[in-house]
Structure 1
Amino acid sequence: MYNDPEIRDVITDIHQRARTTPSLVAVRLDGQAITYRELDERIVDYRTVLERYGMSGGSPFAAALMHCVPNLSGRDLSCARRINDAAVWLGRHLDPPAHGGLRVVS
């Protein structure tokens, strides 16, 4: 399912936090607050579709963020950077922290 261990750990953490603190804000992008529940639900929704088409393990995460923050959508590097920044932010407390090698390719 998720081949990259760092994005797998971030997504696993999102799933766990959605169960324990669903209303807690996970990340803010473009002035919009996204809760763990919203992010988790969208990841689950997109995972089924994107796996069917052989997309990368990080694709459901990127698609979920773009769904929650429509202004984020775009094909430029700033969109990809902001998605990656969100992944790093969400994985900042993991051991080891999700950074450095973490890249989400949508």
Structure 2
Amino acid sequence: MQLHLAVFSVALLMASGHALGLGYRTASDVQVVDDTCIFEGTSVPTGTSVRQETPCRRITCVARHRTMFLQECPNYSCPARRCRMASRSGPFPDCCPRPVYVPRPRLYAD
């Protein structure tokens, strides 16, 4: 049964459209009360997720294992000079910074 819950949790995270290993980690410093994980002051019922804005992440409780899955923003880089990282707001993943193209300034009017 424990293995089924772990497999279900991973499948749930992958079904959200994100690849496992990109921005995922686990936290084991979780307190469990009445099948609810308490992590960094946030209560999350087992098997559910909370999308946060600060810090920008989604946390999912697996109370049976006293573990939280944390999905954080992927690390993007701007390889071109005309690229910058744009800050965003809203709950995860809307709050994740994204690379945006910066157009060249126009020197002359058409």
TM superposition score normalised by structure 1 = 0.25
More strand as a share of residues:
2
TM superposition score normalised by structure 2 = 0.25
- Structure of greater relative contact order (alpha carbons < 8 Å, 6+ residues apart): 1
Structure with the greater alpha carbon radius of gyration: 2
